[in-house]
Structure 1
């Protein structure tokens, strides 16, 4: 029986894979006060009967009673900026376009740092309603975009930039995007399919 088989057969569902947690009321919590952890597995009963879960980047499993699940507050811009995304999250019911929809584009601008599987996505986001629609449409097929970007730039850390978005859309007949620094807006034309 593999470790995953054991976990599947002994799930407690106190915490789910992809949940974001922080440590509380233990020695580790004092050392990792501001650290957010991603649940690598769903919680399960170990052989001693304790409710435990594996955390990404932590050796061994951890007792659930010393973990506090963090609920995402979409209106909290600081929390959005430091939010942790997992592949499980991105493949679930919430898509990146949905994430962009929840951002307050009137108040938030600049770079949005997202950690996915321990790698940083630096999404350039601008404070205009029009840009939200553009980014949502581009990122709907984000696996294809990342493959394209890696082939074009050699980057494997999934750094997203306006130039690559523009090229990706133009090369795939999705329209043309141009950033105007004077107005701080992205301009999007469905009919234009080349540079």
Structure 2
């Protein structure tokens, strides 16, 4: 069939869907790690792309999610929001995240993820188009381009790290050494 490893895993999950993701708190060791990442923005998301924990540098980069409505803390919803004019490659990231959501294989069994998919199908023509493409790719790294009022234009590499034994993933944003983006992040640390 010439499937990629991600597509093969996806098909196996469809044959035997995983049970709904248990609602578990972010492990204490992951929260400590977030605190230790003082000079890089980082967050933890769940299987449905909801932000469930973040560090001070992420607050400096995007604002404080603690004050946002729960729907606004969903990373996929934000990427699909046409009002987001800050993320320069918003639609590319949305495409990759939709492929990742499908690759997670949780849609048939997880009520929260199913609800997210149903809502986005009804609300977002862009999501409906991307979902219909049926692309399956687990995202492990992304590049985000944005413009920050203090840091200026930023190109940040995002490493997506699975938290073993959980449906959480740690997202860590870094800039290439010696770039204007690295200098911009340094300005956020001191701001």
TM-score range, shorter chain: under 0.3
Structure with the largest fraction of strand? 1
Structure exhibiting the larger radius of gyration computed from Cα positions: 1
Query: TM-score, normalization: structure 1?
Result: 0.24
Query: TM-score, normalization: structure 2?
Result: 0.25
